[in-house]
Structure 1
Amino acid sequence: MTTTDTTRHVLISGGGIAGHALALQLVRSGIRTTVVERSDAPRPGGQAVDLRGASREVAERMGLMPGIRARLLHELGLSYVDGAGRVFGRMSMEDFDGKGAVAEIEIARGDLDEVLRDRLAAADEAAPGLLDLRYGDRITAIAQDADGVDVVFEHAPAERFDLLVGADGVHSATRRLAFGPEEEYSTYLGGYMAFFTLPTPADVEPGWFSMRFVPGATFGIRPDFDPSTSKAIITLRVDRDPALRGDRAAQEALIRRSLESAGWHAPTVLDAMPAASDFYFDELARIDVPEPANGRVVLIGDAAACGSPMSGMGTATALIGAYLLAARIAETPGDPAAAARRYASDIAPFAEAGKKLMGGGIERMVPANRFEALMSRAMTKVMLSKLARPIVKKMFAANQDELPLPVAEATHAADGAR
């Protein structure tokens, strides 16, 4: 695409994967773009991201794959361990042809965001004056009419934009301001999840994502790009407690109570938790926004639809959505509202697929009591046996039916080239 006199000004609320991916494609297409992020700096951490099917194709088209391949996790597979660290079940990437729990292309969320920011910096250098990145600010009010959106910020002066994109996650303020209260779109899925980085324990099996389940919780340690560090992943099956939101001390206390007698590397994980600078904790919630386009305001990523981190599809869907929305805006820069409506139609099947929870959700992932923990262990042994492997492969394949990308005119090359 080429820059034209009809180029408009797009505001993106949220400086994560969805926001940075959208900004990258818009700047490459010659469209003036502002990104506002409430954090003071890019947010590190997060779980590993699988790129398969359409999301991998999008990454290829956007020129991200060289950077992604340079930061691959090279996971060998998923293993289940008991309280003494003994392995009782494995799902190797090789045995499942990269279509099991671990994919061929796996990258930490923070590393993927770094790849996007590197490309965004290159695009900004190639076309200076189009990009405005603002950290440490947020939207407090919006008012739209047929011709644009007036936006009030917490710190910056109020400004008018042609399109506002909410890429601000599960608890989207943009969604609340333009579509209604979070409660109208969010469904609690029965638990909480936490992620953070810790020093790699000496006796963790290199290359394997090792997981243990105990009554009320599962926790795992998976490889990081830097072998000296690993990622802790904790899932808790508990009733919803609104007081936990934003209270790290209460969140850590809940994790400690849940893992205090869990065995294996629970003490290692708990000891590393207070010092983790990338500690993330949130409720497991499904987001359903039936129509993510509302005039001059549109939602992408988790703000529009997600199945919680249990689906493992949030980042992939966000990348696809950003690519498709940017393509539609670039095709009709003079009518961003129409572009938003076309995007909403494009993304619908991907959004629905991204909300699927393989295996039944938290009830299957986290045993409620000791009996369920014993049953989960027995079932895991059976399902990961050579005899049952073809059945499990079919289960994963059914959950990964590849959807074709809609025809969309978009910038495919890296470094701002068209």
Structure 2
Amino acid sequence: MKNRNVLISGASVAGPVLAYWLHRHGFNPVIVERAPALRDGGYAVDFRGEAHLSILRRMGILAELESARTGTGSMSYVNSAGKPQAKLPADLFAGDLEILRGDLARILYDATKDHTEYLFGDSVTSLTEDADGVTVTFERAAPRRFDLVIGADGLHSNTRRLAFGPEEEFVRHLGVYCAIFTTDNHLGLDHTGHAYRTAGKLVAMYSARDNAEAKAVFYFGSPQLGLDRRDVVRQQAVLAEHFTGSGWQSDRLLHDMRYAPDFYFDSVGQVHMDAWTRGRVALVGDAAYCPSSLSGMGSGLALVGAYVLAGELAAADGDHRVAYARYQEQVRAYATGCQKMGDGVAKLMVPDSRLMASVLNRYYKVMPYLPGKNMAAKIARKAAENITLQDYPVGLPGSFTRRGTAVGQDLGLV
């Protein structure tokens, strides 16, 4: 097999999943991660449908993920006094399996650490490709040679910037910013969440880790602000400027924000690219086709993309030119469908007028009694399952026979 030595940038979801499958197919993956250690905290992510669950089952981690699931039920919209006004079903938010991103990262790390080299606290500074491979320089580690380089480093991908061009050419801002952090479950939420919406703003809390803690989430509408992604002090100041005096739990949560160990703040955006590969470099997950954090599709899409990319590299016996083309053929339509789930959600999440916010609050109040009450969840499930996955045998280089496994069927244990 050719091109066995593969560098992966990013240790969130797509990176470790890709490393897992590359190892199973006979490759030697190395993961470089800017953070000094695994990132804890973060928002809840979900998987839905057999396209997602079958891959997790094959990886042997589905049972562990289920044991760490949030178990969050329905979400209630409340008024300024905290009185529930409307309730939305869990399937709309949590899919078949919801888990905190930090817990997911830990489980994926445990599944790969014995056969994947991890370089924490480092990042790539240059990529120099020639006919035989790629010379990679790092901020801290000595330069190394790899056969292939895969960017799995998210919306603000460093790999994409180095190999394809500046971020503004590919990232579309959706007019919303998001902040999330861990706080005390001072409302006593029991596997549920409350959300309070006003014009251009939404603040929410939901319980986590068997109600021992809670996640505070803020969304607000804004054009791009040009903030330094590492300037937490300024980010928190901007959040306070938008939400101080907004009502419900806003001021209490803004106070707690100052002491949160895992404060996260970012713009909400989508990535659109004509090609996800260039030479020996490829992108996977949010780096290539981020559907936005509002879509509920990001982690599942990253999971599928990583599975297919590793499988196609194995099927092509390491020939990246053939594998990269097939990877894009397999995933392009699926990614487009998942991205459509993110389009328009921003305006529904943070409507820009009091009138629209009032209309949406009233609609959610009567939605449980409407004929199409489950339509949104059904649309999300259809998008999540809209792919035919190939069954890529492991441990048998060169023996691949292309055959589809229809979603809805188990891919089988290996």
**Quick one: which of 324, 333, 336 aligns to 1:349?**
333
Tell me which residue corresponds to 1:398: 379
Deviation at 1:17, TM superposition (A): 0.9
Q: Which amino acid aligns with 2:162?
A: L
* Distance in structure 2 (CA, Å) of the matches to 1:322 and 1:104: 20
Distance 1:410 1:181, change over 3 A: farther
Secondary structure, in 3 states, of the residue corresponding to 1:101? helix
Distance 1:349 1:225, change over 3 A: farther
Q: Which aligned pairs between 1:15-414 and structure 2 lie closer than 5 A?
A: 15-53=11-49, 54-93=51-90, 98=91, 100-121=92-113, 124=114, 130-201=115-186, 203-357=187-341, 360-382=344-366, 384-386=367-369, 388=370, 390-401=371-382, 402-411=385-394
Q: Which amino acid aligns with 1:260?
A: T
Deviation at 1:318, TM superposition (A): 0.7
Q: Which amino acid aligns with 2:88?
A: M
Secondary structure, in 3 states, of the residue corresponding to 2:247? coil
TM-score calculated relative to the size of structure 2: 0.90
* Distance in structure 2 (CA, Å) of the matches to 1:81 and 1:69: 29
Deviates more, 1:308-317 or 1:102-111: 102-111
Report if aligned partners of 2:11, 2:105 keep a CA contact under 8 Å in 1: no
Deviations 1:74-95 (A, max 9, x none): 11111111111100101233xx
Deviation at 1:411, TM superposition (A): 4.4
Distance 1:399 1:103, change over 3 A: closer
Deviations 1:221-261 (A, max 9, x none): 11212421111111110121103532211211121122212
* Distance in structure 2 (CA, Å) of the matches to 1:215 and 1:87: 18
Deviates more, 1:215-224 or 1:164-173: 215-224
Q: Which amino acid aligns with 2:346?
A: I
RMSD value over aligned CA atoms? 1.9
* Distance in structure 1 (CA, Å) of the matches to 2:343 and 2:365: 16
Tell me which residue corresponds to 1:127: none
Secondary structure, in 3 states, of the residue corresponding to 1:117? helix
* Distance in structure 2 (CA, Å) of the matches to 1:400 and 1:348: 18
Tell me which residue corresponds to 2:400: none
* Distance in structure 2 (CA, Å) of the matches to 1:327 and 1:220: 39
State the identity %: 35
* Distance in structure 1 (CA, Å) of the matches to 2:228 and 2:133: 37
Q: Which amino acid aligns with 2:161?
A: R
Report if aligned partners of 1:7, 1:30 keep a CA contact under 8 Å in 2: no
Q: Which amino acid aligns with 2:378?
A: A
Secondary structure, in 3 states, of the residue corresponding to 2:7? strand
Secondary structure, in 3 states, of the residue corresponding to 1:239? coil
Distance 1:146 1:59, change over 3 A: same
Deviations 1:127-157 (A, max 9, x none): xxx5211011111111223331121111212
* Distance in structure 2 (CA, Å) of the matches to 1:333 and 1:7: 9
* Distance in structure 1 (CA, Å) of the matches to 2:180 and 2:56: 24
* Distance in structure 1 (CA, Å) of the matches to 2:341 and 2:4: 39
Deviates more, 1:232-241 or 1:145-154: 145-154
* Distance in structure 2 (CA, Å) of the matches to 1:185 and 1:335: 27
Deviation at 1:320, TM superposition (A): 1.0
Tell me which residue corresponds to 2:403: none
Report if aligned partners of 1:286, 1:305 keep a CA contact under 8 Å in 2: yes
Report if aligned partners of 1:40, 1:136 keep a CA contact under 8 Å in 2: yes
Secondary structure, in 3 states, of the residue corresponding to 1:269? helix
Report if aligned partners of 2:173, 2:270 keep a CA contact under 8 Å in 1: yes
Report if aligned partners of 1:212, 1:218 keep a CA contact under 8 Å in 2: yes
How many residues in Structure 1 have an aligned counterpart in Structure 2?
394
Deviations 1:177-222 (A, max 9, x none): 1111111111111021111111111x34311121111222101111
Q: Which runs of 5 or more structure 1 residues have no equivalent in the other structure?
A: 125-129
Q: Which amino acid aligns with 1:171?
A: H
Q: Which amino acid aligns with 2:124?
A: I
Q: Which runs of 5 or more structure 2 residues have no equivalent in the other structure?
A: 396-412
Distance 1:411 1:194, change over 3 A: farther
